[in-house]
Chain A
Amino acid sequence: MTTNTPPPSRRSTKRSPSLEGLALAALLVLPVFLYGAARSGSEPLTILLLVLMALLMVGLIVLE
């Protein structure tokens, strides 16, 4: 019999919560810097930030 439904169970993950929080923060912050770099017309900086974002994506896959 179910009484107060507990929060549904969550699958364990190899990524720690703090690492996931950090990754999410980076995902939400990097586009702002990308926008700023593109707006300033600095192509090398824009490319560098895009590479950083690509590395973040690789990290998200590898660290799973």
Chain B
Amino acid sequence: MPDTTTALQFALALSPIVVVLVLMIGFRWGGAKAGPAGWLVALAVSVLFFGAGPALLAYSQMRALLLTLYVLYIVWMALLLYNVAVEAGAIATIGAGIVRLTADRALQLLLLAWVFSSFLQGIAGYGVPIAVVAPLLIGLGFSPVLSVTAVAVGHAWSVNFGSIAASFNALIAASGLPGEILAPASALLLGITCFLCGIGVMLLYDGLRGLRHGAPAILIIGAAMAGTQYLLAVSGLWNIAAFGAGAAGLAVTALVGRLPIYRGVASPSAPQGAASPTSRGGLPLSLALAPYAFLVVFVTLAELAPWAHTVLNSIKIQVAFPATETALGWVNQAGKGQAISVFGHAGALLVYASVSGFALYLATGHSRPGAAGRILSNTARSAVRSSIGIATMVGFALIMEQSGMTNAIAVGLSLGLAPVYPFVAPFIGLLGAFMTGSNTNSNVIFAGLQQQTAQLLGLSAPLILALQTTGGSIGGMLAPARIIVGCSTAGLVGQEGQVLRRTIVYGLVICVVIGAVGLLMAR
């Protein structure tokens, strides 16, 4: 059992998170207002109870700035891509194309929120799927809250092996264990999560009725995606496991759309006034999809072509930090903060896709006078508020991490719940992702702690680490910083609490199921 000091530190460390959750869920504050409140509480607790000094706090905010810029680069440029597409009428055309693929509303939602967003997660990084797909769903007539929530829940399973397996590679680096040892349990747990995410999307859409209607599609598409991911991961191809799984999912969804149950049948409770989108000015589907196709090409080139990867990542912004220590002895090693590759970052790839798409629309006569000005002003107008929320959320997360508060929460959980540690392990991963909005960061912060605890308790380290990264993947769906990204492109800025209220339930339930599976696997 934890001693009184540990329990007190656990409660104090948790207080900023509790404050933010209560303000966002209970009082419906937006991220741009709840973030500053969390920052102030974290600052006060870190100074008064965790012995954080001025230099440590100053460096924590510079680290936070780098992470914020890393995230905002994507947010702003995803908005740019979205506005390029909107200006040319591409969103409406894509919507019409999806309706032609399947008239079934449930399958449309599954296709975009579960399959296509996972495919995007496979190739792009932080927040891109939610920022890009949520507006497409809104264009199809789904409500903004459902659109953001469904994508947040739908693609969570693909985060670990997504972005060229950035999170999984962080797990390998932080644990020192080979990927071949870590891959099987991780791919298995994330495969189960894949089905749970599909189920979550259908429950969000229409409760049990939606789930019954979508069950055949979830089983078939889920088996294709989870199976492909597992086979690729255990074959040593974890870098493209989520990408391959998403591609397999897209192919299978096209076939599932031909099943009688999903062909020409109005599914339960299609939203009133649901869109039956048509293109304006006769924009062909191939042109409408062009900016997204450009994005896929640029991301694939940047990640899979060694020469392009080297050239694009030749210029990086990076800042060196000295070691810092709190009065309680928590040490942050000297090192470099979040690196930002100016031309190889996901945000830069979004710029290339946006510019290419805009040039194509201009060349083919699908751009109206003044389009560039409208695109830029719309992008700037909708990005500022969400940027404040993201900056303050990341700021308080870094205060907590650098002052040892995040670690105190993890230690409290592991000590207090040692007998059921495999059940707790994914919640620690989830906590890391909740705080930083990133599974990769969660793995970097907690992989060592999880590995040590597993060894102390005589548990399988690969299993506990797999539970850690699975929890980290799930945690993205309820991370305020990630939700703010989604809300920024869906016109829900300031209403992030509405989304969080839903995703937190699904995230916690999925984490409970994964924890229970972990308990069974540990026996």
Contact = CB atoms under 8 A, between A and B. Distances in A.
Q: Do A and B come from one complex?
A: yes
Interface residues of A, number: 39
B55 interface: yes
A61 B492 CA distance: 19
Interface of B: 29-30, 32-33, 35-37, 39-40, 43, 54-55, 57-59, 61-62, 64-65, 68-69, 83, 86, 89, 91-92, 95, 135, 138-139, 141, 144, 275-280, 319, 378, 381-382, 384-385, 387-388, 391-392, 395, 489-495
21 contacts: A1-B277, A3-B92, A5-B92, A5-B275, A7-B86, A7-B491, A8-B138, A8-B491, A13-B494, A20-B385, A21-B384, A27-B388, A31-B61, A35-B59, A38-B55, A43-B54, A46-B57, A50-B54, A57-B39, A60-B388, A64-B30
B491 A61 contact: no
A36 B253 CA distance: 53
A32 to B, nearest CB: 7
Is chain A's binding surface mostly helix, strand, loop or mixed?
helix
B57 A60 contact: no
B36 A61 contact: yes
B196 to A, nearest CB: 29
A8 B490 CA distance: 6
Nearest to B324: A38
B318 to A, nearest CB: 13
B36 A35 contact: no
Interface of A: 1-11, 13, 17, 20-21, 23-24, 27-28, 30-32, 34-35, 37-38, 43, 46-47, 49-50, 53-54, 56-58, 60-61, 64
B58 A57 contact: no
A32 B62 contact: yes
A54 B40 contact: yes
A61 B37 contact: yes
Contact of B57 (A13, A20, A50): A50
Contacts of A35: 58-59, 61-62, 319
B139 A5 contact: yes
Contacts, number: 133
A37 B61 CA distance: 12
Contacts of B61: 30-31, 34-35, 53
Contact of B491 (A10, A20, A28): A10
A27 B278 CA distance: 42
Given A7-B83, A8-B492, A11-B493, A61 B33 contact: yes
B384 A17 contact: yes
A6 B85 CA distance: 11
Contacts of A2: 92, 95, 139, 141, 275-277
Contacts of A8: 135, 138, 144, 489-492
B54 A47 contact: yes
Contacts of A34: 57-58, 61-62
A32 B63 CA distance: 10
A54 to B, nearest CB: 6
Q: Find the residue from A2, A47, A49, A53 having the highest chain B CB count within 10 A.
A: A2
Contacts of B139: 2, 5
Which of B61, B92, B141 counts the most chain A CB atoms within 10 A?
B61
Given A2-B92, A3-B277, A3-B278, 9 more contacts: A1-B276, A2-B139, A10-B491, A17-B384, A20-B385, A31-B395, A46-B55, A46-B57, A60-B392
Contacts of B86: 4-7
Contacts of A60: 32-33, 35-36, 388, 392
**Which of B280, B378, B391 counts the most chain A CB atoms within 10 A?**
B391
Given A3-B280, A32-B65, A38 B40 contact: no
Contacts of B279: 3
Give the one of A20, A32, A38 with max B CB within 10 A.
A38
Given A3-B278, A4-B280, A58 B54 contact: no
A60 B39 CA distance: 11
Nearest to B43: A54
